[in-house]
């Protein structure tokens, strides 16, 4: 049995979790999300809590048990609170700005990079910090990863786009010696 899969999923007030066949859908103040459940997994919803059960004894059923529980928990958390990732832009002349659903980045190239934000994702720029937010955890992480990929942090001066809590190992440059 999966340790993660055994945990109970609390359903906050204002969030509705429904099961329709193999599809689980969550509806809350931030929006609506759904997920397709894998075979061998069932969900019981009662009294403001949900429990994911494993009905199969297949070889990988335990892994799917924990995975399904985590994905359903992300649905509930996303429609109630949402998710966000913060990126820090470090470098002279490096900056970002948001115009509608387009994130424009000046990262030292000869041209600005215009990144169209997917539907359901929003970005906010405060100084050198770009905050990407939305209700789908996977989509928020994917967009943050794509923005970081335009100019990953380099190890000598630390310039580039990095996550706010990311540590970049610095290397010593050439030493002018004998």
The residue segments making up the domain with residue 37 are 3-80
Contact 77, 92 (CB under 8 A): no
pLDDT at 63: 83
Whether 146 and 102 share a structural domain: yes
Tell me which of 80, 113, 131 is where a domain ends.
Answer: 80
Nearest Cα to Cα of residue 53 among 67, 40, 37: 40
Q: Tell me how far apart the alpha carbons of residues 61 and 13 are, in angstroms, rounded to a whole number.
A: 31
pTM given for the model: 0.88
pLDDT at 177: 60
Q: Number of structural domains, the chain?
A: 2
Contact 17, 26 (CB under 8 A): yes
- Given a cut of 50, the residues of the chain with pLDDT beneath it are none
Whether 71 and 126 share a structural domain: no
Whether 137 and 99 share a structural domain: yes
Contact 81, 87 (CB under 8 A): no
């Amino acid at each position: 049995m999966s340790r993660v899969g055994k945990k109970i999923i609390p359903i906050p007030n204002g969030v509705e979790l429904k099961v329709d066949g193999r599809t689980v859908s969550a509806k809350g103040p931030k929006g609506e999300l759904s997920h397709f459940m894998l075979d061998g997994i069932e969900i019981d919803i009662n009294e403001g809590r949900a429990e994911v059960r494993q009905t199969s004894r297949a070889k990988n059923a335990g892994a799917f048990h924990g995975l399904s529980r985590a994905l359903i928990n992300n649905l509930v958390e996303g429609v109630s609170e949402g998710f966000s990732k913060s990126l820090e832009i470090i470098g002279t002349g490096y900056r970002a700005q948001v115009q509608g659903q387009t994130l424009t980045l000046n990262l030292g190239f000869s041209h600005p990079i215009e990144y169209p934000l997917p539907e359901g994702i929003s970005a906010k720029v405060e100084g050198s910090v770009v905050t990407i937010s939305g209700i789908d955890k996977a989509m928020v992480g994917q967009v943050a990863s794509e923005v970081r990929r335009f100019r990953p942090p380099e190890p000598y001066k630390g310039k580039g786009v990095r996550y706010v809590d990311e540590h970049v190992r610095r290397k010593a440059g050439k030493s002018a010696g004998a």
